[in-house]
Amino acid sequence: MNRLPLFPLPETVVFPGLMIPLFIFEERYKQMVKDLLARDEGERRLVVTLAEEGGIREVGGYVDLLAVQENPDGTFNIVCRGGERCRVEGAGAFDTSYQTTLDIPHPLERSDQGSEAVAAWDAMDAFRKYVAGKSDPQALEEAIANLPDDPLYQASFLCVNLHVTPADKQALLEAPSLVARLELAQTLMRQGSISGSSALA
């Protein structure tokens, strides 16, 4: 079975469509970037999972490497795009000093289009109230208008922009279905209020 580089990150949970800029400075992860660059362009994939005290979570997300800038000191600035979630199992040393994981897809359960569309509309309406007075209404509506029609990416937009803990975002990632993810997002919005200005991702 195929293995992919594993990149545990604190406070980072990956959702489909999420653009992720990263600064790579550890030697083992600089080697990871070099190994990915040695692959064909369509095969530069790794797995990001949430690193917590005591270990890493067993559900992470696929990430595709899109752009790389090598700095004079040997560090890298990279840009990645999040994909579907996956299982993180069988992690261990594999040819290099960074860890790898078996490539085990863990797709989100999808419902009929009508149910998902209603859940997405309800969640987006709740989000407008959640950021009311804290975000530029025009910028918010422009961001929403530019989202893909698939409720999966609308849910990603919500999950990225909620001001909640990494553990809460991990719970959103691990929700059994897309409708459940959207419903949990609404629950989290009801439980908390946004503070400060909102920077929409």
Instruction: Report whether 167 contacts 13 (CB < 8 A).
Output: no
CA distance 12 to 45: 17
Give per-10-residue mean pLDDT for the chain (201 aa).
91 94 96 96 95 90 98 98 92 67 95 95 95 86 92 96 95 98 96 52 54
Task: Report the residue count for the chain.
Answer: 201
CATH for 3-105 (2.30.130.40, 1.10.3720.10, 3.40.50.300, 3.10.20.90): 2.30.130.40
CB environment 102-125: b (16+ within 10 A), e (fewer): beeebebeeeeeeebeebbeebbe
Domain made up of 113-191: CATH architecture: Up-down Bundle (1.20)
Half-sphere exposure of 65 (CA within 13 A, CB side): 27
pTM (2 decimals)?
0.89
